[in-house]
Amino acid sequence: MTICVEESIHVEWPLDPLIKAVIRLFEGTDNDQENGSLQHQHPYKGCCSPELQSTIDHPETLRHRLALNLLQDGQGFEGLRRTCEQLLQHTVNTSSSAILGKLWSALSIPGIGADFILSAINGNEHVGEELDRLFGLGGPHAGGITMPGGATANSTALLIARNVRFLRIKDHGISAAPGPLVIFVSKAAHYSIPNAAQIIGLGAANVRKIPTTAAGQMDPFALEAALQDAVAAGEISLCVCAPPPPAPLSAANCLNRW
């Protein structure tokens, strides 16, 4: 009787070098917090690599190194590895404790791991169900779509509001509106709302900007007056947009008056 024993052979997965490069990026910031408290001369060197520091005053050198032009032919996994390693060497390391952006802070390692798994298995159905639950939904008809940012979310929300209230517009276009539609929004609101008004056929001129209080909140009394003026002019109020004021104000709109 012949017994064949297969020798275990480790074959490197094509993405192994990329994962290792990202891990090295994280490890490069391990001492940033400790060194920062000791007031070293370069306490946060993990945040900005020597390769990046050497190009800060010479952006054209950085552009040349990264070869940002799009190639006609694919470069395979080896090309992907080279490009990613170059990028990681010449970018600000957001895993450093020195990172504190305007609207975000240092990245979350567990979050990256979760994102990696979700990208690998594309398990969007369960993710959607969890989001439904977090928003207090979860019924058989609960659902939705995720957005890449606030501008797209605003456009989608206004489109849905228009179609739900005026179903004929969905089928026959804006000419089927029973009258001029207007939107009310805070003067401190994001520029994406007038842009969205153009996209859904209302026009930026039909976005009425309501004055704000000293705290950056929409003035409810000014809003009430604007609504009454719109009714008197024969205009139809589609919606009131009360998004949070600009982040530096840390305010929230309060419309409990209604």
Domain positions in the chain: 16-68+77-107, 150-249
Closest CA to 90 of 21, 32, 16: 21
Phi, psi for residue 189 in degrees, rounded to 5: -70, 165
Confidence grade of residue 257 (pLDDT, cut at 50, 70, 90)? low
Bridge partners, residue 210, by sequence: 186
For residues 186 and 242, the answer to whether their CB atoms sit within 8 Å is yes
For residues 245 and 188, the answer to whether their CB atoms sit within 8 Å is yes
* Per-residue pLDDT reduced to its tens digit, 51-79: 787 887 888 888 887 777 777 888 888 88
For residues 217 and 210, the answer to whether their CB atoms sit within 8 Å is no
Give me the sheet containing 181-186, strands edge to edge.
Answer: 207-210, 181-186, 236-241
* Per-residue pLDDT reduced to its tens digit, 5-51: 455 555 567 788 888 888 888 777 766 655 544 444 444 566 777 77
Distances 177 to 154, 162, 230, 244 between C-alpha atoms, Å = 21, 10, 16, 29
Confidence check: pLDDT of 198 > 60: yes
Confidence check: pLDDT of 244 > 70: no
* Per-residue pLDDT reduced to its tens digit, 93-131: 877 777 777 667 667 778 888 888 878 887 667 777 888
For residues 121 and 55, the answer to whether their CB atoms sit within 8 Å is no
Report the alpha-carbon distance of residue 169 to residue 174 in Å, rounded.
Answer: 5
pLDDT of residue 193: 92
Q: How many CA atoms lie within 13 A of 99 on its CB side?
A: 17
Confidence grade of residue 249 (pLDDT, cut at 50, 70, 90)? low
> 150-249: what fold?
Aspartate Aminotransferase; domain 2 (3.40.640)
Report the alpha-carbon distance of residue 65 to residue 206 in Å, rounded.
Answer: 48
**12 or 228, higher pLDDT:** 228
pLDDT of residue 2: 46
Contacts 24+ apart (CB under 8 A), 231-237: 234/179, 234/180, 235/179, 235/180, 235/181, 235/182, 235/206, 236/177, 236/178, 236/179, 236/180, 236/181, 236/182, 237/181, 237/182, 237/184
pLDDT of residue 236: 95
pLDDT of residue 70: 74
User: Within a 10 A sphere around the Cβ of 245, how many other Cβ atoms?
Assistant: 22
pLDDT of residue 224: 93
Closest CA to 95 of 42, 43, 48, 41: 48
Distances 216 to 97, 224, 255 between C-alpha atoms, Å = 31, 17, 13
**Mean pLDDT, the chain, integer:** 80
**190 or 35, higher pLDDT:** 190
